Amino acid sequence: MMTWIKWHFFLITSLYLIFCYSEENKNEPIQKHQSQVSEDLAQVLWNVMQTYEGEYSFKELVINLWKLNAGKQESKPLDECFTSLMEALEKKATDQEITNLQVADSYLQKLKSVNGIHELVKDKLYYKVITHGTGEFVKDLRDSSPLISFKEKKINGEILSENTSGIRLPFSEVIAGFRNGLEGIRVGEKREIFIHPDLAYGEFPKPEPYSLIVIEVTLISL
C-alpha cells in the first residue's frame, strides 16, 4: 500500500518535472512509443524505490534530480552507482535476516510456555492440536503421501500457500519443519505447526530470509 509520504513525493516530483519541461515540449505531440517508454521507466523507478525502501531519503532524491537537471551536479559513472546500490541492498538484506531471526527466536521462546503447545525440536519446532483425530497414525513421515489440507502463513498471518480441498504431498519434498511437525498425527486431526527458519526456508529470499513459518494442517486420509 502506498503511504501518504510516497503520494507527497510523487506529487512534488510530478509538479517539478512538469515545471521543467512543459514549456519546451508544450507543442510537441507525445508519440506512442514515447508513452510506452515513459510508462516502463515509471515501472522501473517504482520497483527500484520499493526495493530500496527505507534506504534513501525522498527529499534528497528530489534535490539530486533538481541538481542534475540544473547542471549543478555532475553525473556519476553508472558502474559506480550500481556498486553503491548493491552494497546498500546487501546491508539491507543482512539487517533483515538478523531481525527476522530475532523475531523467530523471541516468538518461539514465548510460545513454548503456552498451555497446549507441544515441543518436537527444542527451540525450533512446536505444534498445538486444534481438532483431535481418531483415525490411524501416519507411520512413515519421509516416504508417505497422505491426503492433507493446509494453510502456510507468515508470523503476521499473511498466507503464503494453501490447499483447502485436499492434496497429496510427498513428505520427502516438503520442508523439514512441516514433515517433522506431523509426528504422531492421526487421520482427522488438525494442528498448527510453528517452524523456526532453520527448519523452514532458511536464507531463501521468499517469503523473506530467515522467516518463521506457521502451517495449519489437517490429515484427511492416509
Q: How far apart are CA 132 and CA 218, in angstroms?
A: 10
DSSP bridge partners of 151: 162, 216
Contact 148, 220 (CB under 8 A): yes
DSSP bridge partners of 125: 121, 195
Between 167 and 34, residue with greater pLDDT: 167
Q: For helices 4-25 and 58-70, give the axis angle rounded to 10 degrees.
A: 10
The percentage of residues in the chain with a pLDDT greater than 90, rounded to a whole number, is 31
Question: What's the chain's average pLDDT?
Answer: 81
Cell of 157: 498471518
Q: What string of DSSP letters covers 96-161? A: HHHHHHHHHHHHHHHHTTSTTEEEEETTTEEEEEEE---SPBP--TTT---EEEEEEEETTS-EEE
Residue 95 has φ and ψ, to the nearest 5°, of -60, -40
Q: How far apart are CA 162 and CA 149, in angstroms?
A: 8
Checking if the pLDDT of 145 tops 50, the result is yes
Q: How far apart are CA 78 and CA 64, in angstroms?
A: 15
Q: What is the mean pLDDT of residues 97-119?
A: 91
Give the largest Cα separation in the chain, rounded: 78
* pLDDT for residue 153: 93
Output the pTM of the full model: 0.64
For residue range 161-190, list pLDDT tens digits in order. 999 899 998 888 889 999 999 888 999 999
* pLDDT for residue 1: 41
> Nearest to residue 21, comparing CAs of 30, 8, 31?
30
* pLDDT for residue 151: 94
Q: How far apart are CA 148 and CA 169, in angstroms?
A: 8
Checking if the pLDDT of 2 tops 50, the result is no
Q: Which domains, and CATH codes, for the chain?
A: 4-75 (no CATH), 115-221 (3.10.50.40)
For residue range 187-214, list pLDDT tens digits in order. 999 999 999 999 998 877 677 788 999 9
> Nearest to residue 182, comparing CAs of 204, 149, 206?
149
Q: Using CB atoms within 10 A of its CB, is residue 75 exposed (0-12), middle (13-18) or buried (19+)?
A: exposed
Start-end of H helices in the chain: 4-25, 32-51, 58-70, 78-111, 176-180
* pLDDT for residue 82: 74
Q: What is the mean pLDDT of residues 140-156?
A: 87
